[in-house]
């Protein structure tokens, strides 16, 4: 299952990764791809919606999170251990390999 996250809105990003955790724990292989302002998800701080916690839970459960390198550069960020730098070719591969792709 592929999840494309294009938002840095706390509640939407939190729900995207919360769904990813549920899917991964439900027996699906999950790959998330951060695109556009979604590359800022690791930096979201909100009192109700702990996005980083959900991202970490997804990774710890065996899911994978990739971040668009061009978008990282545009947002003056770099890839991290949790969200390594990736390319449009990686997103294309995700779409081709996954039987379902959701966009948040």
pLDDT at res. 103: 97
d(CA 46, CA 50): 6
Euclidean distance between CA atoms 30 and 21, whole angstroms = 8
Q: Which of 69, 93, 94, 92 is nearest to 79 (CA)?
A: 69
What is residue 39's predicted lDDT score, i.e. its pLDDT?
98
> What domains, with CATH codes, occur in the chain?
2-103 (3.40.1260.10)
pTM beyond 0.75? yes
Task: Spell out the per-residue pLDDT of the chain, length 104, in tens.
Answer: 999 999 999 999 999 999 999 999 999 999 999 999 999 999 999 999 999 999 999 999 999 999 999 999 999 999 999 999 999 999 999 999 999 999 99
pLDDT at res. 82: 97
């Amino acid at each position: 299952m592929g999840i494309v996250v294009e938002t840095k809105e706390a509640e939407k990003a939190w729900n995207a990764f919360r769904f990813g955790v549920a899917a991964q724990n439900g027996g699906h292989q999950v790959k998330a791809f951060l695109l556009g302002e979604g590359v800022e998800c690791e930096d979201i701080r909100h009192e109700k919606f702990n996005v980083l916690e959900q991202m970490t839970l997804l990774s710890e459960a065996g899911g994978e999170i990739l971040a668009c390198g061009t978008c990282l550069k545009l947002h003056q960020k770099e890839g991290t251990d949790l969200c390594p730098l990736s390319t449009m070719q990686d997103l294309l591969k995700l779409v081709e390999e996954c039987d379902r792709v959701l966009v948040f």
